[in-house]
């Protein structure tokens, strides 16, 4: 599907409020409700819109601490990567996991209540398969946390 200006308006508007009704969305972008819904459904079908989520304030839910953890495995064999990736998906405190180039094999973003809660998580991370070492960096302050992609 081509992202024309109307599709871009739909995406940008939905990123601001994904809960708005189709009628309100159509009005906001100056399109008929049926045409608007058709475009949204097509972008969902094409994978441009991959889902809808609720974002929580990690401070409000008692997990104000973010820690970036660099993970180095014993080796980079396909079996090691697969076993690590399968295991890390079960860790609910790991919000993001990226396979990286550079010194570390993976970069994780972990949320925790405080340093002692992270100690608990750190002990669990130490049990991951094929782990060689980790290096943790506590976030002091979030300067920018963008959730929207301008299209």
Where does CATH 3.30.70.920 sit in the chain?
A: 65-138
Picking from 15, 23, 89, the residue whose alpha carbon sits closest to that of residue 52 is: 15
Rounded to whole angstroms, what are the CA distances from 103 to 29, 126, 134? 46, 18, 11
CB 115 within 8 A of CB 139: no
Q: What is the pTM of this model?
A: 0.87
Distance CA 99, CA 105 (A): 6
Q: What is the assigned CATH class of domain 65-138?
A: alpha beta
> Hey, is 97 helix, strand or coil?
strand
Per residue in 37-93, pLDDT tens? 999 999 999 999 999 999 999 999 999 999 999 999 999 999 999 999 999 999 999
Where does CATH 1.10.10.10 sit in the chain?
A: 5-45
Picking from 64, 39, 57, 58, the residue whose alpha carbon sits closest to that of residue 49 is: 39
Containing 99, the helix (H) or strand (E) segment is: strand 94-99
pLDDT at 1 over 80: no
Q: What does DSSP say about strands 106-112 and 131-138: parallel, antiparallel, or unpaired?
A: unpaired
Q: What is the assigned CATH class of domain 5-45?
A: mainly alpha
Per residue in 115-134, pLDDT tens? 999 999 999 999 999 999 99
């Amino acid at each position: 599907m081509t992202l024309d200006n109307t599709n871009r308006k739909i995406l940008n508007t939905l990123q601001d409020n994904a809960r708005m009704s189709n009628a309100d969305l159509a009005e906001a972008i100056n399109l008929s409700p049926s045409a608007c819904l058709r475009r949204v459904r097509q972008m969902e079908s094409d994978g441009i819109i991959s889902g809808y989520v609720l974002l929580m304030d990690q401070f409000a839910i008692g997990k104000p601490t973010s820690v970036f953890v660099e993970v180095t495995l014993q080796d980079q064999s396909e079996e090691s990567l697969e076993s690590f990736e399968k295991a890390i998906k079960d860790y609910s405190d790991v919000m993001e996991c990226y396979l990286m180039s550079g010194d570390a094999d993976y970069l994780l973003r972990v949320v925790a209540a405080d340093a002692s809660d992270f100690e608990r998580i750190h002990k669990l991370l130490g049990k991951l398969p094929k782990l060689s070492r980790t290096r943790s960096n506590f976030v002091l302050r979030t300067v920018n946390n963008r959730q929207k992609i301008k299209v």
